[in-house]
Chains A and B, each alone.
Chain A
Amino acid sequence: MDEKMKQLTEIFQDVFDNEGITLTADTKIKEIKGWDSFIHISLMAAVQDEFGVAYNIEEIMKLKTVGELIASIEGKQ
């Protein structure tokens, strides 16, 4: 969990181009400053690349928090 949180933080910092971003399991992805649907696409693509997982449309629509994201990655690996 901690390791994944670290990797995710790095991805989020890159994509948002903001080194100040810190994540917790409760962080709502859409509420991060600067979020828009294009950033969301980049995030999901980066997550799929980084962890070697694939999501279908329904799964992507359902993911709301960082905690859910980590759980979904762990479920797939």
Chain B
Amino acid sequence: MECFAYPLDTKMLLRKKKSIKKELLNNEKQWICKKIAVLGGSTTNEVVDQLEIALLNHGIKAEFYQSEYGLYWEDAMFGNEQLDAFGPDIIYIHTNWRNITAFPEIHDTEDEVMQKLQEQYERFGSMWKKLEEKFRCPIIQNNFDRPNYRLLGNRDIWDYRGRSNFISRLNQKFYQYAQKNKSFYINDIDYLAQDYGLSEWGAVIYWNMYKYACCLNAIPYLAGSVANIIKSIFGKNKKLLALDLDNTLWGGVIGDDGPEGIKVGPDMIEGQPYYEFQQYSKNLQKIGVVLAVASKNDQENALEGLRHPDGVLKEEDFVSIKANWEPKNQNLKEIAEELSVGTDSFVFVDDNPVEQDIVRTQLPEAAVPKVESVENFIEVLDHSGYFEVTSLSTEDLGKTAQYQARAKAQSLQASFENYEDYLLSLEMKAEITGFEPMYVQRITQLTNKSNQFNLTTLRCSEDEITKMQESPNYICLCGRLIDKFSDNGIVTVVAGEIQGDELNIKLWLMSCRVLKRELEEVMMNELMKKAAEQKLSYVNGVYIPTAKNHMVEKFYGDMGFELCSSDENGETHWKMKVDEYQHKKSAVSV
């Protein structure tokens, strides 16, 4: 919805939140449903209202618990029946500098201030531990904004007696905790306040009259920031950045001006912003965003532009380059098909408002930031939070190489007599393990991202994955696939719950980048082996249809399972007697 695009239409979001909510609820059909506990050190009503619609806009339908005004700490430390019964999937602790209970006094010694700092930190640290033990779910914690006054003026930030200094040190302690604890995320209100303008953010009337931590008009930004963290945790980040070329990656039109005439590079004034935008895009790629080109150009001209010696982005940085005269929405669709990803994971940047509009109307699921000209590309893209980083897995860091290896493997495929020969030529090897701690992050990511080869579409948090692994009643398997081109990393996840002498498969998914590699056969062999070891009689599978997982409708049937039941929604239940299972052949060795 337009009002959520940066810069936010705060007027609309605040005034029409009720009708926005209704409209969003009418729109999308497949919601991710989550329970969110908001523990506030200030009034949270507007925060929750805005968070609710921001999450709906990301496809997440949330149910909320709100602590009574200011009782965040009591709720966490001493428990609260309502909160316990609620059982949150995410906890958001909305505190700000006004919730710090002791500040340095001007006569304090350095040691006394240190003592206060430690006490303030412990107040939060012990609360996080308590919540972690009890709920084992992700925690989002605000850092502290700065007060809108400085008693010591410029000295306030560096003198140990200054509040600004105290807050900055307390924040550092929070960050150290975040470094060490997965499932703990900082919502950076210190940045939000600065970005918004500290004086306006901290306008005292909102605290004095309503006990809001910041001014009302800033709340949609605050909520948007929290929503970005949450949607990222649940796998709703964008994945691909599709870029136009002329007047987007360089100044000028390559078809008219030629490679010497286009403007890019650090040495010329008009070329600088394009150069910086290329650098920014390149850095996005380094954190796992996949890049593509969608441009109205002749292919040869496009490549010529990318060979410009002062450019940062080169041909090999893109997984796909569509430079032709077809409509861009058409090209984006083709890119999506090539890479087996949905256009809902696309962000499209084009300087031309007409092209923006075409893609916005033809592919409403893709994000098209409202950019004007190169000077504000980075600002808009960065504030939009499309690629909010909540985890940096090793798979993310090597993603472009993997996509390219896949494209290469696809071209190799053409030269083989039959598919079986081709598969054998890949020299594939699988490593199958349980949900080892080092894989938990990746496994979680897969459960939240995989849509097509996913039998149950069960979305899980890291804590849920860890719980399965630790439970004696679960059989958990994940598989890494290595072929002669690349190590694809962990690409498939299977988990089943033992009930009596039967195993019920709760989770079975595979990344689309390794479809049709016969990896699922190997996983099934392994699962059946484990089931036999545990002396189980039956393994039961279920297929729960969604808009995207049609490809696995017949999965259990193909694996030799017997159909037990099916309902009007297309949900089917299957079973297999463990001692009748026939070992499956596969081109993948174990």
Contacts and interface: CB of A to CB of B under 8 A. Distances in A.
A1 interface: no
Given A42-B46, A42-B216, A49-B217, A11 B209 contact: no
B45 interface: yes
A14 B45 contact: no
B46 A46 contact: no
Interface residues of A, number: 15
A17 B205 contact: no
Minimum-distance CB pairs A-B, first 7: A17-B18, A14-B15, A45-B216, A38-B45, A41-B210, A14-B16, A46-B15
B49 to A, nearest CB: 8
Given A17-B19, A38-B46, A45 B14 contact: yes
Contact of B14 (A37, A46, A55, A60): A46
Interface string B11-52: 100111011000000000000000000000000011000000
A40 B552 CA distance: 52
Main secondary structure on chain B at its contact with chain A? helix
Given A14-B16, A14-B19, A38-B45, 10 more contacts: A14-B15, A17-B16, A17-B19, A41-B209, A41-B216, A45-B14, A45-B216, A49-B11, A55-B205, A57-B205
Interface string A17-44: 1000000000000000000011001100
A57 B209 CA distance: 7
A56 interface: yes
7 contacts: A14-B16, A38-B45, A38-B46, A45-B14, A46-B14, A55-B205, A57-B208
A36 B217 CA distance: 19
Interface in B43-89: 45-46
A15 interface: yes
Interface string B456-476: 000000000000000000000
Given A38-B45, A45-B216, A15 B15 contact: yes
Contacts of B19: 14, 17
B210 A42 contact: no
Interface in A1-19: 11, 14-15, 17
Contacts of B217: 45, 49
Contacts of A14: 15-16, 19
B interface bracket (residues with beta carbon within 8 Å of A): 10 to 19
Nearest to A19: B19
A63 to B, nearest CB: 13
Contacts of B208: 57
Nearest to B219: A45
A37 to B, nearest CB: 8
* Listed residue (B15, B45, B210) with the most chain A CB atoms within 10 angstroms of its CB: B15
Nearest to A46: B15
A11 B15 CA distance: 7
Nearest to B205: A57
A41 B16 CA distance: 14
Given A38-B45, A41-B216, A49-B217, A56 B14 contact: no
Contact of A42 (B15, B205, B209): B15
Contacts of A37: 210
Nearest to B10: A49
A60 B11 contact: no
Nearest to B20: A17
Interface string B192-232: 00000000000001001110100011000000000000000
A42 to B, nearest CB: 6
A14 B19 CA distance: 8
A70 to B, nearest CB: 19
Contact of B209 (A17, A46, A49, A60): A60
A14 B18 CA distance: 8
Interface string B116-141: 00000000000000000000000000
A17 B23 CA distance: 13
A15 B212 CA distance: 19
* Listed residue (A17, A55, A56) with the most chain B CB atoms within 10 angstroms of its CB: A17
A17 B209 CA distance: 24
Contact of A41 (B11, B15, B46): B46
Contacts of A57: 205, 208-209
Nearest to A45: B216
A41 B18 CA distance: 15
Contacts of A55: 205
B74 to A, nearest CB: 22
A68 B205 CA distance: 21
Nearest to A49: B11
Nearest to A38: B45
A42 B220 CA distance: 13
A37 B15 CA distance: 15
Contacts of A49: 11, 217
Contacts of B205: 55-57
Contacts of B45: 38
A11 B216 CA distance: 16
B328 to A, nearest CB: 36
A45 B218 CA distance: 11
Contacts of A17: 16, 18-19
